[in-house]
A and B are shown apart, each in its own frame.
Chain A
Amino acid sequence: MRITATVNGTTHQADDVWPGESLLFVLRERMGLPGSKNACEQGECGSCTVYLDGVPVCACLVAAGQADGRQIVTVEGLAAGGALHPVQQAFIDAGAVQCGFCTPGLLVAAHDLLARDPSPSEADVREALAGNLCRCTGYEKILDAVRLAAARLAAGPGGDGA
């Protein structure tokens, strides 16, 4: 089948898609957007998290056919016009990246949290990130990054929701 979707604001089309393919596979292999990562294909790690019509989903669990005609935002779409989103900048400043494989999914999850709630409680932050596995960082600096981004967003104008 043919899949047409708006990804990061641009219309993307892919032909000869088997409807059972995952959205993750379509994004990575057919649309040239390998930023979202595959670490389990089971919905357990969150590395493949993308926005589907504004809601974060595990792209590995979404069938390609379900994405037809929808709005998708991936990690590649978070930096507006080249400038890093405050969440991304906070990941750098807090030292929240090690190997970076979990990072795309965590960024989308953190971005979504702060879009919904610019000043989340400690428990809300943990809850929002509870579906994402990271084997490198022990999460402490990722939590720091989300707090830092929240503080910066509260202090001044910054990125908006996806």
Chain B
Amino acid sequence: MTSMFGEPIARVEDDRLLRGEGAYLDDLGHDALAAAFVRSPHAHAVIRDIDVSGALDAAGLVAIYTHEDLPGRVGEPLPLLIPHPALTHGRTGYPLAAAEVNHVGEPVVMVVATDRYLAEDAAERIVVDYDPLPAVVGVDAARAAEHLVHPDVPGNVAAHLVQANGDAAAAVAAAPHRLELDLYIERSASTPLEGRGVLARWDTESRRLRIWTSTQTSTGVRAAVAAKLGLALADVDVITPDVGGGFGVKIVHPWPEEVLVPWAAMTLGRPVKFTEDRSEHFVASAHERGQRHQVRVGFDDDGRILGLDVTFWHDNGAYIPYGVIVPIITSTQLLGPYKPGAYRVEFSSLYTNTVIVTPYRGAGRPQGAFVMERTMDAIAAELDLDRTLVRERNFIQPGEMPYDHGLIFQDGRPLIYDSGDYPAALARLKGLIGWDEFEAVRRAARAEGRRVGIGLACYVEGTGVGPYEGAHVVVETSGKVRVATGLTSQGQGHQTVFAQIAADELGVPITDVEVVTGDTRAFGYAVGTFASRAAVMSGSAVALAARAARAKAIRVAAAALEASPDDMEIVDGVVRVKGDPGSGIALGTVAVLSNPLRYAFDEAARAATQFVGGDLSTPPVAEGDEPGIEGREYFSPVRSTFASGMHAAIVETDPDTAEVKVLRYCVVHDCGTLINPRIVEGQIHGGVAQGVGGALYEKMAYDETGQLQNASFMDFLMPYVSEVPERIEIDHLETPSPLNPLGIKGAGEAGVIPGSAVIAAAIEDAEGFPITSMPISPSDLFELRRRHAASGETANASQTASVNRAG
């Protein structure tokens, strides 16, 4: 039997999905009542009155709920999921707005009717009277604080945090060269094709609640909803059906609807379902990325950074249920593969009257990479050095691993890189894209009247954050292996990779392995799928649990065969003496033998019943032993493992229309040992598409009153097949992680991280003036050209970037 680990095998999930037999949230519960919401049309307003009388005779209406109808904890503000000492002014929204609304889309009234059309019709007849208040929109308005989002939060500041390693200000001041940069990234959003959704059934007889929700954490939803509804955890099941993408937005929990729908199902004694529509998803879920950064950097003649001092402002939206995870990640992961002499970072997380901000794939890292890599390019331009050389000189070297940055990471643990080989990765990337030959390409293009540029960007990504995941592996008497882990899947192919791991560890064909994820009935202890942690955390737990099951199977089979366990192996589902195919017992039979029986339910079970034999002087189940061939193990690493990578792109900018075309996109990627290269590639492709989308197309266009102007797929420009690079060229480097049994690192987010940085660098190289704000549309670029032409700086392809030289 060949090893499955490391093979690009086809996914076990696909057959079903390709037949249209996927079961996503809205494919379930056809008998359920439908919920719809009246949402705030104002960014900031006081609710004066809610008049539901016009809706009471609406066809199909079952119930209308406002804040006042919600009892006890159900109506109270949603939890602040991740408290932090720096988060001094944490505010969260109510499931249904109490007295005030703080963003367009905030839920105000819940309507339950016999179907969604009727629920929406009834919702339209409800009249809410608002007193509008001035809206705070965008980082700059939040900082100016002429108006406050929450009257009791001075300066709109939710959190303020400073971290430092060394005296960066002094190092900058003493450095021979200094630069200052102002760098901005706009809001974007995860935007999975399937929005949020939740279905709940209250079993009036067993008094148990069953919830299906399109979530990244079923155990999180379960705990939060049980607490809200005053139910014992054991009386709540949360099941994750097929999920149509997450990318971060579905890690937040409980969403208002995840509290309200189960509560309504209990109250009404009937199943209730909510399926978010696309326009709701834009204004009522979550965004990310919006940050303004000020960089002060001091460096020597070789371009080595002596001091780096970064201050940034993070737009967290109207509420902050997910805490300060995103800006903490920016502030720590900004460092990438580099080791500045001294580093200081300070951020303020600010309220605005816009939808909440929670992690979107990359989670603050794209901003960090943008800041660091723009800084590297500025240093190279200032010193007239090759951009790769400046990076090389600032790299942490492989021999310096593990490398301690002297900071605290998002998991509350020290920021220590475990492994990585950045010089090797850069060498590969330069080879892949032809860095050293690019001047010839540029000249040839110029001779044809075309304008091209090249850029690169590096990142390091802390993946596999704790605290833990677990797995349960059971060998059934049929020989089939059931694997359960608590974290959820949103299309990453977890069932395939976990089956690969279990099949290899146990020595069974992968077709005999079945994997369940995200179902609290199958596994109740879990954290969730985020931070590129699934393969590292649950993958490791599955390996450990499978090893435990394997050891047990070998022990039981060895006893039956009167052989030494050390001489046994499992091959193709048969436990046998090493090298002796004739000696074996099928794994399913071993499972039968492991469970002493009184009753025979079939032929196979007869072999394990009490009159069949065995050692009569010992208990049927030895002390400390258990019936069955099972393994249940948890994996809890001491800290995150750090994946890394580098991207390079060649772009062409149209001299007339300012359109940007990505001609080549190259990726060198190191996520440690690969479990399934094809799945990893798919993750990179999807991430790069989101990175390019974030660099060139995607931005949330709020007007100054807090209305989102592009809340549809018609206006929010997510890449179609026509907008992605023709081919993404990938090279893998594998530096195994020492922090887990499989040597793996996360791969889910990597592709997106350097997107804005690398595209900005390539455009800057093509145009010859600094690019400091992303995304960049053709009209943005056109405007920049006009301004630079007006200020006397011609857009000359060979000219290097100019930034403010600090005095």
Contacts and interface: CB of A to CB of B under 8 A. Distances in A.
Interface in B690-731: 690, 712-714, 718-722, 724, 727-728
Interface in A115-140: 126, 129-140
A98 B689 contact: no
Contact of A136 (B10, B27, B686, B721): B686
Contact of A99 (B194, B712, B720, B751): B194
A44 B714 contact: yes
Interface stretch (B243-251, B438-446, B536-544, B591-599): B243-251
B713 A133 contact: yes
Contacts of A139: 685, 689, 719-721, 724
Contacts of A104: 20
B20 A75 contact: yes
Interface string B11-42: 10111011111101011001000000000000
A129 B8 CA distance: 26
Interface stretch (B376-384, B408-416, B486-494, B759-767): B486-494
Interface in B174-211: 191-195
Given A88-B19, A100-B242, A107-B18, A39 B194 contact: yes
A84 B18 contact: yes
A100 B17 contact: yes
A138 B712 contact: no
Contacts of A138: 685-690, 719, 724, 728, 751
Interface in A14-37: 18, 21, 25, 28-29, 32-37
A93 B18 CA distance: 12
A95 interface: yes
Contacts of A32: 30
A52 interface: no
A136 B245 contact: yes
B274 to A, nearest CB: 14
Given A76-B20, A99-B193, A132 B678 contact: no
Contacts of B278: 39-42
A148 B717 CA distance: 29
A102 B27 CA distance: 14
A35 B646 CA distance: 39
A98 B247 CA distance: 12
Interface string A71-84: 00011101100001
A128 to B, nearest CB: 9
Contacts of B689: 137-139
A77 B129 CA distance: 49
Nearest to B491: A99
A55 interface: no
B193 A102 contact: yes
A101 B194 contact: yes
A86 B712 CA distance: 34
Interface string B460-482: 00000000000000000000000
Given A132-B720, A140-B685, A42 B713 contact: yes
B718 A137 contact: no
DSSP majority for the B interface?
A: loop
Contacts of B20: 33-36, 74-76, 78, 104
A37 B192 CA distance: 13
A162 to B, nearest CB: 14
Nearest to B720: A130
A152 interface: no
B722 A29 contact: no
Contact of A45 (B8, B22, B193): B193
Contact of A98 (B10, B24, B30, B492): B492
Interface string A51-92: 000000000000000000000001110110000100010011
- Interface size bracket, A side: 35 or more
B194 A91 contact: no
A92 B549 CA distance: 31
A41 B722 contact: no
Contact of B117 (A18, A40, A79): A18
Contacts of A151: none
B277 interface: yes
Contacts of A29: 30, 115
A107 B19 CA distance: 10
Residue among B18, B195, B720 with the most chain A CB within 10 A? B18
A144 B14 CA distance: 16
A78 B18 CA distance: 9
A128 B8 CA distance: 28
A142 B721 contact: yes
B237 interface: no
Interface of A: 18, 21, 25, 28-29, 32-42, 44-45, 47, 74-76, 78-79, 84, 88, 91-93, 95, 97-104, 107, 126, 129-143
28 contacts: A25-B117, A34-B26, A34-B27, A35-B21, A39-B195, A39-B713, A41-B277, A42-B713, A74-B20, A76-B21, A79-B19, A84-B18, A97-B14, A99-B193, A99-B194, A99-B490, A100-B13, A101-B192, A102-B193, A103-B17, A129-B720, A133-B718, A133-B720, A135-B192, A136-B682, A137-B682, A140-B727, A141-B681
Given A34-B26, A134-B193, A135-B191, 17 more contacts: A39-B278, A40-B712, A42-B713, A45-B713, A95-B679, A95-B682, A98-B493, A98-B686, A101-B22, A101-B24, A102-B193, A135-B193, A136-B682, A138-B689, A139-B689, A141-B682, A143-B721
Interface of B: 8, 10-11, 13-15, 17-22, 24, 26-27, 30, 115, 117, 191-195, 242-245, 247, 277-278, 490-493, 678-679, 681-682, 685-690, 712-714, 718-722, 724, 727-728, 751
In order of increasing CB-CB distance, the 10 nearest A-B pairs are A35-B20, A99-B491, A101-B244, A138-B689, A100-B17, A138-B685, A44-B713, A75-B20, A34-B27, A98-B491
